[in-house]
Amino acid sequence: MMPRPVITILAVNTGSSSIKFSLYESGEKEELLFSGSLTRIGLKDGRFSVTDPQGRYIDCERVDAPDHAAACRHVFSWIKRHGPGMPDAVGHRVVHGGPRHTAPEKVTPELLASIAELVPYAPEHLPQALNAIRYAANELPGVFQVACFDTAFHSTMPSLAKLCPIPEEFRKQGVQRYGFHGLSYQYILSQLQAESDPLARKGRVILAHLGHGASMAAVLDGRSVETTMGFSPAGGLVMSTRTGDLDPGVVLFLLQEGHLDADALRDMVNKKSGLLGVSGLSADMRDLLEAEADNPQARLAVELFCYSARKHIGALVAALGGLDMIVFTGGIGLHSPEIRERICEGLSFLGLRLDHERNRNHSGVISQETGKIVVKVIETNEEVTIVREARRVLEGG
């Protein structure tokens, strides 16, 4: 069998206030050439950095990027000047695919128009992704581009799990539960398969992506059947600055009493709530863990995060009809043994037994051998998923 030809693929991951990018050589496996980011877009102390595969800085500087357009110009002009030539393809993370886009697709004018129609579904993310796609087309003319949708992974959920209990006239407008972090979950499943873990293809698994944004997915026999986020990435678990699930009555009260208008409400739900809103101190779990001994509000925020996670795990276990494995990933899930332990210590009734030493040492498997449930920690890599999907579309798969 002939080896796969080596091609270069640029993965672009846009956020509401950042752009992350990675250039890979894709052959029999993916080899990172460099990765970088431009963060704090819209603030005076924006930072642009690029590192090599060993984490050594290739470039690092303060950048004035007053908006996302300026950030795109800086990122793509740098790639054009310093990259090893024109990439063979560019893959973009697109947060929301709506009801129509359930697999990665080649970027065309028709697709861009379709994504633009979805902006009201994810106004914090989709305009930035569209900007990045357009700037890539300008700076890297003629390069094949692929949109990789974060919602696509959850398209396998049963129709009942997608259903929002509202009148049909609104459901026909695309109001349903979608789920997010799909590129991360797809990577974790691929890693389990690479480890020949039989539960990746035949088992009841909860994948927990715990970071600035946090969600969980219930995966049955390798397919998503339920998830904590719904119509938007603001639902589900308590997060760093997002509310998670919120009683609609609270929203109505704040609107009706004139406390907030629609724009201010969106800002509150996405940027001022969660760990930050409860603690009044920080959105960063590391800060809260450091402060909780002397700060009751910091301790309350940490406890609420772990309680929310345990509660949602219970719901996902019910959807799965049992549980064989939990996998932690994301910044908090990967780096905080204390949070992993606090979440798991309330789940012993399921037969979950954590090995405290393995957990402290960040072992790949952190559960006891005698436990009924396997608990793993795996580092995610959404960019590798983007590279794989972009190549598959490029090759007509």
Contact yes or no for 182/152 (Cβ under 8 A): yes
* Pairwise CA distance, residues 172 & 273, whole Å: 30
Q: What is the CA radius of gyration of the chain?
A: 21
Q: Which of 154, 226, 153, 146 is nearest to 186 (CA)?
A: 153
What are residue 89's phi and psi, to 5 degrees?
-160, 155
Q: Which of 57, 56, 67 is nearest to 19 (CA)?
A: 67
Q: If 0-12 CB within 10 Å is exposed, 13-18 middle and 19+ buried, where does residue 38 land?
A: buried
Length of the chain in terms of residues written: 397
Is position 150 annotated as part of the catalytic site?
yes
Which of 45, 88, 150, 261 does the annotation list as catalytic? 150
DSSP labels, 239-299? -SS---S--HHHHHHHHHTTS--HHHHHHHHHHS-HHHHHHSS-S-HHHHHHHTTT-HHHH
Largest Cα span, the chain:
69
**What residues are labeled active site?**
150
